[in-house]
Structure 1
Amino acid sequence: MFTIYKTRAAIAASLLLAGCAVGPDYRAPAMPVPDHWDQAHETNPAAQPELPQWWMQLNDPLLAALIDEAVVGNLNVATAAAKIREARATYRQAGGALFPKLTGSASATRSGSGSSAVSTATTSSTGSATSDGTGSTISLGTVGNTFQAGFDASWELDLFGANWRALEAAKYGLDAAQWSLRSTLLTLVGDVASYYVQARGYQARLALARNTVKSQEETARLTRVKFESGASSGLDAANAAGQAQTTRATIPTLQTSYAQAVHSLSVLTGQAPEELMGRMEKPEAVPVPKLPVPVGIPADVLLSRPDVRLAERQYAQYTAKVGQAEAARYPSVSLTGSLSTSGTQIGDLGMRSTIGWSFGPSLSIPLFNAGKLKAAVEIAQAQRDQYFIAYRSAVLTALKDVEDASVALSQETGRIDALQASVTSYQQAAILSHSLYAAGSTGFLDVLTADRSLYSAQDSLIQSRVLVTTDYIALNKALGGGWDGEVDTSKPEVVDTHTGPHLRQAVQ
């Protein structure tokens, strides 16, 4: 009776010890952040940013459709989803170490014994004999079968939390993989929108260049007619033709940039580079955002930015790995047991057979390892520190991104107003210069200067519109706005078939 109580007490003590852990427990770091943005006067600091589906505010159906296609077809998203599946499997694998392990075994053996000797032809009752024709006999001995079956069980009590820390690290790793997917989606949405806006900008600049070339070529034709009639000099005709060709020379460069933007857009959606050329062929205006953009408070960025959340989860993961490495320096206790049965026939197993069993604890104590385990702890601590620094860097980068995008959007919005006024003035100057030149009241140099200035101002205005929308996209990215829908992370990219036993094939 005393032995039973003693055993129960030992089991209870083991279960209590199984709840112990060594190493640091993770605590979310407190990072100091400003109370307000430096550019708050340019926006509405009291309002929360509208981050979910922010691109819908650009009112461009094709852009929205391309973002949907990119989420489904982008290869970086597929890679991030596969990493989530890997992290889930790792988490389940780490959890399995907390439970007992049971292994079954079976064997069948046929054995015999015998000897050869010179003797008279007699046969023992336990064997048989044959004669070789010379009076000698060869004894064949005994032959028999042995069948065995059994189970082996083991359970590591995890007294100091090594397996629990591994499970904790795997859980944080799974969280990190999920935030990595969100970070990938945020980057993807921003890149798709940026390349789309750039492509529309190049289309507008191409249209401007072609229209300007037509106008300048008409001016060159009229100047040449006046020269042929003696009403103007050959210098005017040559300058007019040269200006038209100079403007024409910008078209191939713009076409190249447009094609590259569409190619990049196609690859982001998981398609061949030329797939979107047809869908983008019809020119559309550069999407115009609604301004100003509310940015909330800096502390919101720590919750909405997936790259910041990813860095924080990685810091947590490697904090748990410090405890895992520390636990390896402590003793480990395992409970092991086995049950086996053997017989001369399969039907005898468990009935008319020999049954054996064993049960008991085993203790492993690291006595001397030349500092190897302590060095492993120091390695884990150094890795943890690196991820803590990476988290701090991610926070500062996030704050910087918002400030940069805010000031860029604010300044470019002011610049676009000045460029619009510049275009209006140069349009009036071009009309007047052409009228005065036709009346003979001014030289052709004034016409060239007015036309050149007008084209430059119009081209700069288009580029500024592209920059305003691009800065709007960058600000939403900096605030953490991205895809808020569900992404299927359970479906593998490669579906294996015929994975059961089958004939081997030649290596390809």
Structure 2
Amino acid sequence: MTAVRTLMSSASRLAMVGALLFLGGCTVGPDWHEPTPALPLAFSPPVGEAATSRMDAAAADPEWWTIFGDAELSSLERRVASMNLDVAEATTRVAQSRAERRMVGADQYPSASANASYARERASPNGVLGLLGTTQPQSAATIANGGPGFGPTSLPGSSGSPAFDLWQYGFDASWELDLWGRVRRAVEASSAEVEATADMRRGVLVSALAETARDYLQLRGVQAQIAITQQNLDIATHSLSLTKLRFSNGATTNLDVANAAAQVSAIQAGLPALRKQEAQLINALSFLLGAPPRALATELAAPKPIPPVPPRIPVGLPSELARQRPDIRSAEARLHEATANTGVAVADFYPRVVLGGSFDIQALQFSGLGSWASRQYGIGPSISLPIFEGGRLHGALELRKAQQKQAAIVYQRTVLQAWHEVDDALTAYNAAQNQRSQLLETVRQSRIALATAQSQYVEGAVDFLNVLSVQNQLLSVQRAQTQADTDTDLALASLYKALGGGWQSEFPVEAETERKSDIETGRAPASETLGELAANGWQR
């Protein structure tokens, strides 16, 4: 019979363990399903007359700025990924979210702690020890050696219960059985938070890359404006010399000389504002690279032509937006997080089972700590079941469900906004090209008109006011044409930003190497070491 009972007891334990393992595989709450955004199969052609540079369905290059064929721009873009302070800050946020996920994930495993203590204690004979009366008084030494009589009558007279030493050491361990998947859902939510934070960092990188391109293209545009102004200043100066010569020969009046001098001064007056814009844009690029003001002045001072746009621009397919746009990826991760948090709220309605255990050595004398007889232990499960929470659990569940609905709406809105931005950027790029084409012809005709007016003025066929009018018109259309060239490049940069251009699954290895080089040479903050760089997850 004893053997049978033992066998039945073992079978019961195995059945209980099997049931717990089976329940451990359960996960309550809604499961995550990746959403499928409603996007067209191809982008719609831009509004207006088709321009020369058109979109192509080929996949867009993450390093889209290389289509401009400008080595200086490519160099700046490579450096900004490793030196931009906004990107560095976003990287620390990724490290924080990963640390939080590690903290949440610790609940999946048992926890254990060791302890040791010593205390000099005295129990009150008028307290609960009054329920433990003795038959005869004992001395303090007897009680300290573990003898009987520990109670209110332990000592005669008013001395009461004696003081004693209590030595103890041991360890405790506990482990919550994740029967309903509460911890797993929490880890899932925390992992989704890491994904969202990582995509936010990508968004910061995309914005920094686009801003670098915009500032650089604007800089080249301003430098082109300066060159045009200088050219027109040379023309006006030549006209002034010609007018003075004609005045000295009696062929004209002092009015023409004054008008010519005023034209020279008016053109010169536009240069300081352009120089200011040039300096501000160089400083803006320096800031994007985490450098002090004027750090790039020598590197960028030499003017270069405004980069031309290619005849074909690869934009990919609309379905790729969900994978390339960091804001869409982040919104999707937030929806995943909200879904997992709903599962955590559902699991809170179910019982929690915690396996706990402790083992201690306790003795009234220090010498007794080495005795096996001084051991004490306890092991067993504990179960807690919420019965009445005043509506807290129901409120938490409704909150999580509402947050999940909100995250779904945010995701839908983000996808729709991305679609609108791409469509608007395509239209803006097409319109900028058409405007530039028209202005190129206007500039060509204005140059012919100025040469004709100057020739007729020398021959005395027209007065100097005609020359001034045509010259002002040429200066105006040249500036407009240069601005149109710049706007076309800026529209292309905005288009690739709308497409999520610059997004990469990992940060560029070359950029990481440059960042490490900056740290080693002291150009990066001294508090950041190579070990900290790796710990902060510079590469995902």
The TM-score with structure 1 as length reference comes to: 0.87
> Could you list the runs of 5+ residues in structure 1 that have no partner in the other structure?
115-123, 128-137, 497-508
Q: Separation in 1 of the partners of 2:328 and 2:293?
A: 32
Equivalent residue for 1:212? Answer: 232
Q: Call closer, same or farther: CA 1:281–1:341 in 2, change over 3 Å.
A: same
Alignment of 1:68-467 (within 5 A): 68-110=78-120, 145-344=165-364, 346=366, 348-349=368-369, 351-467=371-487
Alignment of 1:35-74 (within 5 A): 35-39=41-45, 47-74=57-84
- Report which stretch shifted further, 54-63 or 40-49: 40-49
SS across alignment from 2:305: coil
More helix per residue: 1 or 2? Answer: 2
One-letter amino acid matched to 2:11: Y
Q: Call closer, same or farther: CA 1:126–1:242 in 2, change over 3 Å.
A: closer
Q: Separation in 1 of the partners of 2:268 and 2:140?
A: 110
1:26 correspondence with 2:23: no
Equivalent residue for 1:506? Answer: none
- Asked whether the 8 Å contact 1:343–1:352 carries over to 2, the reply is no
1:150-193 superposed Cα distances (whole Å, 9 cap, x missing partner): 11111111222221111000111111122222221111111111
Q: Call closer, same or farther: CA 1:39–1:316 in 2, change over 3 Å.
A: same
- Report which stretch shifted further, 60-69 or 2-11: 2-11
Equivalent residue for 1:479? Answer: 499
- Asked whether the 8 Å contact 2:220–2:306 carries over to 1, the reply is yes
Q: CA RMSD in A?
A: 2.9
Q: Call closer, same or farther: CA 1:495–1:480 in 2, change over 3 Å.
A: closer
Deviation at 1:328, TM superposition (A): 1.7
- Asked whether the 8 Å contact 2:97–2:193 carries over to 1, the reply is yes
1:448-507 superposed Cα distances (whole Å, 9 cap, x missing partner): 1111111111111111111111112122222222053247699997459xxxxxxxxxxx
1:470 correspondence with 2:490: yes
- Asked whether the 8 Å contact 2:77–2:212 carries over to 1, the reply is yes
Deviation at 1:260, TM superposition (A): 1.5
SS across alignment from 2:112: strand
Q: Separation in 1 of the partners of 2:160 and 2:388?
A: 54
Q: Separation in 1 of the partners of 2:345 and 2:257?
A: 83
Deviation at 1:239, TM superposition (A): 2.1
Deviation at 1:111, TM superposition (A): 5.3
Q: Call closer, same or farther: CA 1:367–1:47 in 2, change over 3 Å.
A: same
Q: Call closer, same or farther: CA 1:261–1:97 in 2, change over 3 Å.
A: same
One-letter amino acid matched to 1:291: P
SS across alignment from 2:167: strand
Deviation at 1:141, TM superposition (A): 9.8
Q: Percent identity, aligned pairs only?
A: 32
- Report which stretch shifted further, 143-152 or 436-445: 143-152
Equivalent residue for 1:501? Answer: none
Equivalent residue for 1:4? Answer: 10
One-letter amino acid matched to 2:186: A
Deviation at 1:382, TM superposition (A): 2.0
- Report which stretch shifted further, 204-213 or 220-229: 220-229
- Report which stretch shifted further, 381-390 or 420-429: 381-390
- Asked whether the 8 Å contact 1:322–1:377 carries over to 2, the reply is yes
Deviation at 1:347, TM superposition (A): 5.6
Deviation at 1:386, TM superposition (A): 2.1
Q: Separation in 2 of the partners of 1:344 and 1:86?
A: 47
The TM-score with structure 2 as length reference comes to: 0.82
Q: Separation in 1 of the partners of 2:356 and 2:115?
A: 15
One-letter amino acid matched to 2:29: G
Q: Call closer, same or farther: CA 1:434–1:113 in 2, change over 3 Å.
A: closer
SS across alignment from 1:34: coil
- Report which stretch shifted further, 87-96 or 105-114: 105-114
Q: Separation in 1 of the partners of 2:192 and 2:123?
A: 61
The alignment covers a number of residue pairs equal to: 480
SS across alignment from 1:50: coil
Q: Separation in 2 of the partners of 1:208 and 1:462?
A: 9
